[in-house]
Amino acid sequence: MNDSSLLSAQLTVRYPGKAPILRGVTLEIAPGGITGLVGQSGSGKSTLALAILGLLGRQRATVEGSILFQGTDLVTMKERDLRGMRGRSISLVLQSPISSLNPALRICTQLKEAWRAHANGTPAECNAAIRAALTSVSLPADEDFLRKQASQLSVGQAQRVLIAMAVMHCPALLIADEATSALDIITQSEILQLFARLNRETGMSILYISHDLPSVAEICQRIAILHEGEIVESGPTTQIFANPQHPYTRRLMSSLPHVPARPNQSSAAQAAAK
């Protein structure tokens, strides 16, 4: 494992009486980088995200190995300490924004709860943090918007609210688990640009989990390919797209639609479009 990594994981995950869902998976995330984790449904992508967050205990899963985050092994960390870390040092954005928000509470209430989970301060400090978080994701911070409920938001607005909650405490790592899969193509592009901007402006690392190769090519510097519970290939995005080595990766690349590349796309994204 690389000592300079923000996160270095080497783990196996198994459920009682079943074959391991993750087998000897090795994943490294660099400080300030965007890493893509690619795989089809059922390959174990979300299981890996939940393992990093220490959220597999309720599912009676056993995690073997280590997940070193900023030098601390999350596998051996106590639940009390993990609760203090979730949302502060490592945040999660899920794929279904409307269902992830509480339909009974106003947006301002949910943002306040997210802030108070890891901060103590005056109401003025809380309001300032909320305004800053909303501004960072290009949402209005006025009273009209804050009084809305989830049902009054578009899907894109709801996803931006979730991202605002996730970045409110300036985490070192943001895990985006299929965070654009429920969005239309225009909103998806906007959210991808938002992730790239937050990464560029704050230095926050992102683990971008998706089965959508063009979106991965758009923002990720490195890619890990997960297939049937194993990382079968990993490396720089341009290398994986230009010269895939594993048969499964080659099948993924061959399934890409052939569409014209946009002039401002990265070289990897242009390769994905060819």
How far is residue 184's CA from residue 163's CA, in Å, rounded to a whole number? 17
pTM above threshold 0.85: yes
Q: Give the model's pLDDT for residue 262.
A: 45
Tokens at 31, concatenated: 């400080």
Per cent of the chain over pLDDT 70 is 92
The full 3-state SS of 94-111, as one line of letters, equals CCCHHHHCCCCCEHHHHH
* CB-neighbour burial class of residue 257 (10 A; exposed 0-12, middle 13-18, buried 19+): exposed
> Which domains are assigned to the chain?
7-99+172-273 (3.40.50.300)
> How high is the pLDDT of residue 199?
96
Q: What are 33-50's pLDDT values in tens digits?
A: 999 999 988 899 999 999
Block residue for tokens 């309001």:
127
185-202 and 155-167 helices, crossing angle to 10°: 20
Residue 260 and residue 244 in contact, taking contact as beta carbons nearer than 8 Å: no
16 three-state secondary structure:
coil
Which residues, other chains included, contact 256 with Cβ-Cβ below 8 Å and sequence gap of 6+?
213, 214, 272, 273
What token pair was written down for 99?
Answer: 């269902």
Residues of the chain with pLDDT under 50: 259-263
Q: Give me the pLDDT at residue 274, please.
A: 55
pLDDT on residue 82? 94
